[in-house]
Chain A
Amino acid sequence: MTVKIPTPSAPPSPHEAVKEASMLKQKEMIARNYELLTGTAENGRKVVSTFVPGNLNELVMCFDMLNNLPEINAIQNGMKKLSGGYIEEAEKRGHSEDVCTYVKADLGMMAKGNLAPNGKPLPRPDLLLLSYTGCFTFMKWFELLREQYKCPTVMLHVPYQGDGHATQNMRDYIVKQLKDEVIPALERASGVKFDIDRLREYLRESARAEDDLVRVLESAKRKPSPIDAYFGGVFYIGPIFTAFRGTPDATEYYRLLRAEVDERVRRGLGPVTPEGDMKSQRYRLVVEGPPNWTSFREFWKMFYDEGAVVVASSYTKVGGLYDRGFRHDPDHPLESLADYCLGVYTNHNLPQRVALLEQYMREYEADGLLINSIKSCNSFSAGQLMIMREIEKRTGKPGAFIETDLVDPRYFSAANVKNRLESYFQMIDQKRQTATAA
């Protein structure tokens, strides 16, 4: 008797039907980065582990170090349906079922060989760069990783915009940490001396790509929208939020992407979905909260099957609000990094988040706000019901609330989510009918 072993699926791409140049480019970039990361024994590169929000990629590059992002590994594992097993492994080892599943997926993955998506083991980091931005759990996560790796760790504490704005004191504090702690730690770990002009060069490169990203995201103001700013958006932000910001590769990616989106606009096409071009756009939504990764495809399908397109999302701002004008600034390199860290979406206070979503609702002429509330992520989730209330009150547009998780398959109930989405879309329909009748 033979047992058929299912082959693990490749990371899903939104462009499977039509492979566009940008998609191929990104796939190649990610694959190459994992090859570099898993090949440090041969290539001799040093590795820094750090987080996505407010990451210091340009600074890390100044030390010829590679950037390994545990959230990205967790997402990869979620999409490949491996995270469930990893989470259970971590829970078996004493982690509570109550806490963040990114953390548990990461720790479980370590316990099970720490394999990268290319099947090779990830290296031990030479430095843990704890960029504590917008998420309390990051701090505990790196303490837990440090306990495993016993490697040097440096903390970058980014204060929260409690009063809805960054202060000079916050900026000074971050710059001082960069100068006195982070840069020396990177120098020690890499053996490379810091060169601020090199940093300027990378920041200049970042800003170029950032311009194109904004153009792509804002294309969703058109009707029909040529992109989906959530399900497609998570792919568009990939390079700039992770290990590629500041590289010519990223600039090239966004140049390609921008050209493709411009072309879609010219041809009046809707977004690309896994099942081809989206035809009708009946509902325009703003989405708050991260997506679910374990059932990403199924989740997305619930939207495009109903003709729902996401025109703006907050999740695509966890790596910076470029669309509100922020750019990395080569003339003020460290200050610009500080502003970058301070300005990521999850470091904004609740009234700021409400204001931003309200602006999106209006600027993108959305029919409603959908909140995907993630069990793991209190930074996002605690207060989302307040956000919904406020947006409904301020815009008069209906909100909807669904609950899933990032990478824990136990918290994705397709029937539940579908039921609520259907009810929501029908409600929008009904309201529209009465509005036209009136």
Chain B
Amino acid sequence: MIDTNKTTAAIVARCQELFDDLEFGSAREWKEAGPNRRVVAYMPIYVPRELIHAAGMLPLGILGGGENLEVIHGDAYYQSYICRIPRSTLELGVTGRLDFVDGFLFPSICDVIRNLSGIWKLLFPKVYVRYFDVPQNFDDEIGGRYYVQELTELREGLERLGGVRVTDEALRASTALYNENRRLIRELYAVRAEAPWLAPTSEVYLLLRAGMVLPVEEHSQLLRDYLAAVRAAPRPRRDNCRVVLNGVFCEQPPLNLIKAIEMSGCYVVDDDFTLVNRWLLDDVPLAGDPLRNLASAFLHRSAETSAKYQPDEAKKGKFLVDSVRSNGAEGVIFAAPSFCDPALLDRPMLESALDRVDVPHIGFKYAENSAQMQPVREQAGTFADSIKLWSAP
């Protein structure tokens, strides 16, 4: 007997609904469901959500306004040569769509998001706003010591915001929940890499996005249901090539762009969507000091991305090359938001790393509200065809 609420279609429909909801109804409901509940928003790429959860609060991932938000007031704060995510995020703010948000964390990703933290402070003085700086030095005694103190300050800030104590015990429990969530996502990625026709990226993406707005417990259940449903319902395999998608870690491409890539003959077997879900590469140990454990995981076992310094020149691009190899990809599609400094400055170095090991790649730019998909279809389609030609016996 198949539970109709737990088919892939039903799960994906639920995720799509959450994705489309620019009023953040589910987060509002969560907040209203209990007294003194607090919601703490965050932007890409990484914040330690364990801390927010341990304070009894809901972490809410804000990834811009997507393709359907008309931006009027947000545009008033930005010149035309700046990417779109800060404008649409501000539009969400000034139009009251985020009026239930009590705190907002702006991670260290680029100067635009960094400065957005200051704009938020000026525009929304009642919100607990913190620029969340992470170390670019990966020595335990240097960057590690600094980071533990930054985490401590964040913990204290949240405690003040909620009028609560964030105990080590609570933090360990939250870490365990997020460990589990990350495990499930790793499993989802492994399923997709092995049989991408079973879990299309347009669906995987929506599942990841659901994790931005749902409580972690609920999201983990959704992941379990989806994995079970996928295994229960076989889907036809197509003659697609296998690619890694890179550069989509901040401003999001429109869902249609993801679909266009898939429809033009590419299976995405790895990507850098919503890195916060997979930033820490394996379980954070529960024994010992929870902040030290988080710091150590960050320093030594976290994903590589343009916003993070690579101290060792020889390792530049290795993370991407390893992903290509371990996921059996045949090429890389670089997709970067227009005016995205981290992605666009990084790209030539990543391209060189791929060239050295003969991995083909293409690249293009998008905005979260790009509507013309024909160039994407053409480029991705041509790329897929050429990969098939090269790999033909």
Contact = CB atoms under 8 A, between A and B. Distances in A.
Complex: A in contact with B (CB within 8 Å):
yes
Interface of A: 93-96, 98-100, 103, 132, 135-137, 139-141, 143-144, 146-147, 150, 153, 155, 157, 159-160, 162-163, 167, 169-170, 172-173, 176-177, 180-181, 349-351, 353-354, 373, 375, 378-379, 381-386, 390, 403
A181 B142 contact: yes
A162 B146 contact: no
B341 A382 contact: no
Contact of A143 (B131, B316, B339, B351): B316
A311 B91 CA distance: 35
Q: Which of B112, B149, B341 has the most CB of A within 10 A?
A: B341
Contact of A350 (B118, B309, B313): B118
Interface of B: 76-79, 81-82, 86, 106, 108-112, 114-119, 121-123, 130-133, 135-137, 139, 141-143, 145-146, 149-150, 153, 306-307, 309-311, 313, 316, 336, 338-342, 344-349, 351-352, 365
A200 to B, nearest CB: 24
Q: Which of B111, B137, B145, B306 has the most CB of A within 10 A?
A: B111
A155 B139 CA distance: 12
Contacts of B341: 98-100, 136-137, 140, 378
B313 A378 contact: no
Nearest to A405: B81
B76 to A, nearest CB: 7
B103 to A, nearest CB: 13
B136 A132 contact: yes
A306 B81 CA distance: 29
Contact of B143 (A140, A144, A157, A162): A157
A379 B136 CA distance: 18
A153 B136 CA distance: 14
A147 B349 contact: yes
A144 B349 contact: yes
A75 B357 CA distance: 37
17 contacts: A94-B351, A132-B136, A139-B309, A143-B313, A143-B349, A155-B137, A157-B135, A162-B130, A173-B146, A176-B146, A181-B139, A349-B121, A378-B110, A378-B112, A385-B76, A385-B79, A386-B122
Contacts of A141: 345
Contact of A98 (B81, B86, B139, B348): B81
Contact of B116 (A136, A150, A383): A383
A383 B77 contact: yes
Contact of A135 (B111, B119, B141): B111
Given A155-B136, A163-B130, 4 more contacts: A96-B345, A349-B118, A373-B79, A378-B112
A163 B143 CA distance: 19
B146 A169 contact: yes
Contact of B119 (A98, A177, A383): A383
A381 B79 contact: yes
Contacts of B82: 378, 381-382
A136 B153 contact: no
Contacts of B86: 382
A266 B44 CA distance: 56
A103 B313 contact: no
Contacts of B310: 143
B119 A350 contact: yes
A47 B352 CA distance: 27
B338 A98 contact: yes
A161 to B, nearest CB: 9
A180 B139 contact: yes
A172 B150 CA distance: 12
Nearest to A159: B133
A390 B119 CA distance: 10
Contacts of A139: 136, 309
A170 B134 CA distance: 11
A382 B79 CA distance: 8
A95 B352 CA distance: 12
A152 B352 CA distance: 20
Contact of B118 (A100, A147, A170, A383): A383
Contacts of B106: 162
A386 B313 contact: no
Contacts of B307: 136
Nearest to A373: B79
Contacts of B133: 159-160, 162
A167 B146 CA distance: 11
B31 to A, nearest CB: 25
Contacts of B131: 160, 162-163, 349
A140 B76 contact: no
Contacts of A181: 137, 139, 142
A353 to B, nearest CB: 8
Nearest to A139: B309
A405 to B, nearest CB: 9
Contacts of A378: 82, 110-112, 115, 341
A140 B136 CA distance: 12
A350 B111 contact: no
B129 to A, nearest CB: 9
A96 B178 CA distance: 37
Contacts of A373: 79
A144 B77 contact: no
B120 to A, nearest CB: 9
A373 B106 CA distance: 23
